């Protein structure tokens, strides 16, 4: 398949929320207490909500910037590409990158919306609903067929969460961002019947539970004095624990139509994982009393789980050991792992090198995503205008050059020192 003929849907990208996102959706009585974007004297923009401050971490918004500007220090909105927070500019960036459609995870509320869980449940629910209405009606609604809409959960109440799933499903939303480990946030685990109303709502509405790496708010920190490379290397590994936790849980047995996406988790680890769970079942099910109705755990995995990758040669090479129907592609714009704007080139080179046939390319690049998320972009965008080549032709003249955007230069040594300070603080918080 020619690179320009590919149709690309990314199942994992991110939004840096704009400052006016609550304006049209939060009841007036809550407006004064809503999260707000504050510009600091040092040039950084941070979200403030009560006593919590959430910076725009640089690694979360580096699209179009040189690697020398990567780091963990906070940024101002004027230091990042407008496509990170402006939907009109996002579409231009998507066109220039040859991307037909995108599923966008939140940033400042956390992947599971845990920031909005306050002691005032009415206020908390209003915040979640306002975010979802902004995301679905304004962000996704601005360009039909270009975004897979996704809702934030009501993480503290399974009944309210189920109701929010149903409310958004009526608006065409079939994705719910969630946490990889509810217990880490102080809520019942996946094994607790507390969540049964949510599982039923997901199945009833054909909504995918999207479990994103890092959504438990925990970092894998092997030692306080470890270099940042260790943390970055280990970031995807939490998703392996989540996959095991969910695969051995009651929901996948009690709700045969439950769909779970392991977002930004990669795929290269999955063949070993499937061998391991089958071996575990073979050796231990007589005393652990696991029963999958005559099937193996690997069969159940392929029935329930969607996986995704950015650039994962091992996973693509072993795609048949995973299940080609269970793999989708992601771009991860505007994070530091993203290949934007050259994602089509990187992906095409990988697929060609691994001799992936055209029918499998179509599944991995868009058909699997459409099927799992009940999403049909071609109702709004004709196929002939949805290809990499057609989208890029429509974006002629849009500047995608790499440009330095930081207002100040921070030496690498200072970035490392700041990282060490953050890790020590996080470790002390975890220990307490």
pLDDT tens string 134-186: 999 999 999 999 999 999 999 999 999 999 999 999 999 999 999 999 999 99
pLDDT band at 30 (very low <50, low <70, confident <90, very high): very high
| Cα 161 to Cα 153: distance, rounded to the nearest angstrom | 6
Q: Locate the domains of the chain by residue range.
A: 3-431
pLDDT at 250: 95
| Cα 187 to Cα 258: distance, rounded to the nearest angstrom | 21
| Cα 10 to Cα 333: distance, rounded to the nearest angstrom | 9
Task: Phi first, then psi: give them for residue 392, nearest 5 degrees.
Answer: -65, -35
The tokens for 190 are: 């996946």
Given a cut of 60, whether residue 426 has pLDDT beyond it is no
Over residues 221-241, mean pLDDT: 75
> Contact, 151 vs 113, CB < 8 A?
no
Return the biggest CA–CA distance within the chain.
64
Given a cut of 50, whether residue 431 has pLDDT beyond it is no
Over residues 41-59, mean pLDDT: 80
Spatial strand order of the sheet with 259-263 comes to: 175-178, 208-212, 259-263, 305-309, 327-329
pLDDT at 40: 86
| Cα 374 to Cα 178: distance, rounded to the nearest angstrom | 18
Q: Locate tokens 């217990």: which residue? A: 183
pLDDT at 419: 63
| Cα 425 to Cα 409: distance, rounded to the nearest angstrom | 24
Residues 6+ apart with CB under 8 A from 293: 253
Highest mean pLDDT among 46-60, 227-241, 346-360: 346-360
pLDDT band at 373 (very low <50, low <70, confident <90, very high): very high
C-alpha pair distances (Å), 39 with each of 70, 121, 127, 257: 21, 29, 22, 46
Over residues 61-70, mean pLDDT: 77
pLDDT at 33: 95
Other CB atoms closer than 10 Å to residue 415's CB: what's the count? 17
Share of the chain above pLDDT 70, in %: 91
pLDDT at 429: 44
pLDDT at 140: 98
pLDDT band at 54 (very low <50, low <70, confident <90, very high): confident
pLDDT band at 71 (very low <50, low <70, confident <90, very high): low
Over residues 309-338, mean pLDDT: 95
pLDDT at 423: 57
Burial class (CB in 10 A: 0-12, 13-18, 19+), 137: middle
CATH architecture entry for 3-431: Alpha-Beta Barrel (3.20)
Name the residue with higher pLDDT: 430 or 14. Answer: 14
Over residues 14-37, mean pLDDT: 94
Share of the chain above pLDDT 90, in %: 76
Across the chain, what does the average pLDDT equal?
Answer: 91
Given a cut of 60, whether residue 103 has pLDDT beyond it is yes
> Which segments of 76-166 are extended strands (E)?
99-105, 147-148
Given a cut of 50, whether residue 432 has pLDDT beyond it is no
pLDDT at 216: 74
Cα of 176 vs its chain's centroid, Å: 10
């Amino acid at each position: 398949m020619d690179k320009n003929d590919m149709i690309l849907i990314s199942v994992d990208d991110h939004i840096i929320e704009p400052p006016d996102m609550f304006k049209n959706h939060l009841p007036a009585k809550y407006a004064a207490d809503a999260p707000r974007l504050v510009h600091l004297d040092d040039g950084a923009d941070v979200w403030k909500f009560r006593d919590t401050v959430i910076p725009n971490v640089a690694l979360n918004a580096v699209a179009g910037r040189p690697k020398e500007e990567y780091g963990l220090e906070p940024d101002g909105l004027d230091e990042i590409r407008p496509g990170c927070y402006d939907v009109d500019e996002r579409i231009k960036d998507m066109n220039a990158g040859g991307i037909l459609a995108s599923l966008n995870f939140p940033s400042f509320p956390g992947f599971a919306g845990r920031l909005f869980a306050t002691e005032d449940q009415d206020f908390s629910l209003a915040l979640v609903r306002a975010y979802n209405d902004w995301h679905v009606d304004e962000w996704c609604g601005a360009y039909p067929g270009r975004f897979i809409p996704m809702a934030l959960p009501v993480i503290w109440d399974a009944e309210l969460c189920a109701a929010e799933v149903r409310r958004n499903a009526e608006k065409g939303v079939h994705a719910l961002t969630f946490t990889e480990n509810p217990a880490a946030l102080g809520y019942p685990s996946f094994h607790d019947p507390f969540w049964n109303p949510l599982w039923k709502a997901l199945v009833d509405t054909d909504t995918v539970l999207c479990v994103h790496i890092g959504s438990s708010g925990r970092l894998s920190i092997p030692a306080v004095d470890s270099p940042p490379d260790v943390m970055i290397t280990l970031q995807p590994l939490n998703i392996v624990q989540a996959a095991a936790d969910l695969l051995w849980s009651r929901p996948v047995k009690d709700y045969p139509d439950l769909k779970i996406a392991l977002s930004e988790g990669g795929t290269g680890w999955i063949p070993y994982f499937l061998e391991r769970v089958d071996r575990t079942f073979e050796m231990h099910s007589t005393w652990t009393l696991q029963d999958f109705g005559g099937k193996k755990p690997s069969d159940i995995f392929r029935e329930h789980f969607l996986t995704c990758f950015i650039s994962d040669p091992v996973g693509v090479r072993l795609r048949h050991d995973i299940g080609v129907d269970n793999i989708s592609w992601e771009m991860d714009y505007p994070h530091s792992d993203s290949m934007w704007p050259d994602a089509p080139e990187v992906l095409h080179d990988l697929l060609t090198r691994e001799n992936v046939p055209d029918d499998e390319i179509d599944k991995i690049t868009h058909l699997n995503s459409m099927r799992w998320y009940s999403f049909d972009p071609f109702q709004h965008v004709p196929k002939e205008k949805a290809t990499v080549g057609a989208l890029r032709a429509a974006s002629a003249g849009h500047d995608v050059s790499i440009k330095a955007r930081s207002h100040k230069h921070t030496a690498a040594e200072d970035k490392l020192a700041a990282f060490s300070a953050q890790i020590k603080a996080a470790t002390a918080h975890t220990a307490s």
